[in-house]
Amino acid sequence: MATQHFVFLLVENHTHLTLACATEPLRIANMISGETLYSWSYASEDGVSATASNGTVTLVQHRFDDLPKCARLFVIPGLHMTNYITPTLLTCLRKAKTSPAKVGALCSGAWILAEAGFLDGMKAAIHWEYHDAFEERFPDITLVRSVFVADEKHITASGGTATADLMLHLVDEDHGYDLSVAVSDMMVYAGAREANVEQKISLQSRYGMRNPHVAKAIELMREALEEPVPPMKIAAELGISVRQLERLFGRYFNTSPSRYYMELRLDRARNLLMQTELSVSEIAIASGFQSVGHFSRLYRRSFGTTPSGQRGRKG
């Protein structure tokens, strides 16, 4: 197989960890095989450099509007990526859409591909911090909560070490399982995760619990943040009494099911305030609150500021 060239579009404020996890598996695959299986280069808005969110400055070889031919093209942004979506970047991506290059996204990059019209009707992965806002902004895209999606035309990974998982998956596809395992071993990486592994640690693992009723109750709550269901209905769905449900939440979280549910909805509201331009009233409704006044009072009680004040703290 000929050398595959990857181009990484480095958006300002990109995540340096994601960039390292994207390139190091490729470098190590070359080293172990003794062949140049992969090559890569970087592009930025000005064609000179790009600065990561940790302050690291990477020199680049290309401008967004003057890219070389490549096998794969990945966009790598980071926090507050909507502040750095420029017309040049969108034009670059749309031009690439008609090229032979396979276009993908890492970390919060799925948002940028979605804005550029790549992902409608597809599955996509994005860092868990953006899930609420992504679902509101792009209802025609199927958001998955796994570490990466590789079975679509445009592959996406949720960032950080999930990028290494994706790259090891690509090495496996291109050059076989043995090489991908050897690369993983060289990285002292305890086995690449499969695409369908969830990004966040499960509640059972996080709290050291093994109670399926609690896990299922939380799943039901998360599925109905916009239109909350009463504890009685959740208990009935689980086949237990409301009193038993309350005892379980008291035992594992030292709170009631209703309070836990409220905190989930307020967390969703906070994400939407920080990541979208939806109005406070729209966010209240999207988080299951019918009264903006009630929502604002609860929000202030939980976070020490009003919804409008929270939005003013962005950045």
In sequence order, what DSSP letters do the residues of 19-51 get, joined into one string? HHHHHHHHHHHHHHHTS--EEEEEEESSSSEEE
The Cα 139–Cα 199 span in angstroms is 21
Left (φ > 0), alpha (ψ -120 to 50) or beta: where does 127 sit?
beta
Query: What fold, for 203-312?
Result: Arc Repressor Mutant, subunit A (1.10.10)
Instruction: State how beta strands 62-63 and 38-44 pair.
Output: parallel
pLDDT digits (tens, 9 = 90+) for 146-172: 889 998 999 999 888 889 999 999 999
From the list 201, 228, 199, the residue with the least C-alpha distance to 215 is 201
From the list 157, 156, 123, the residue with the least C-alpha distance to 138 is 123
1/255: higher pLDDT = 255
Predicted pLDDT of residue 159: 81
pLDDT band at residue 312 using 50, 70 and 90 as cut-offs? low
Residue 130 clears pLDDT 70, i.e. is over it: yes
The reply to whether 203-312 shares the fold of 4-186 is no
Q: Which CATH superfamily is domain 4-186 in?
A: Class I glutamine amidotransferase (GATase) domain (3.40.50.880)
pLDDT band at residue 89 using 50, 70 and 90 as cut-offs? very high
Measure the N-to-C terminal CA separation of the chain; round to a whole number of Å.
Answer: 45
What percent of the chain clears pLDDT 70, i.e. is strictly above it?
92
pTM over 0.85: no
Predicted pLDDT of residue 315: 43
pLDDT digits (tens, 9 = 90+) for 176-207: 989 998 998 898 876 566 655 555 555 555 55
For 256-266, what is the mean pLDDT? 93
Predicted pLDDT of residue 22: 96
Most confident segment among 34-38, 81-85, 204-208, 267-271 = 34-38
Q: Where are the domains of the chain?
A: 4-186, 203-312
pLDDT digits (tens, 9 = 90+) for 93-108: 999 988 999 999 999 9
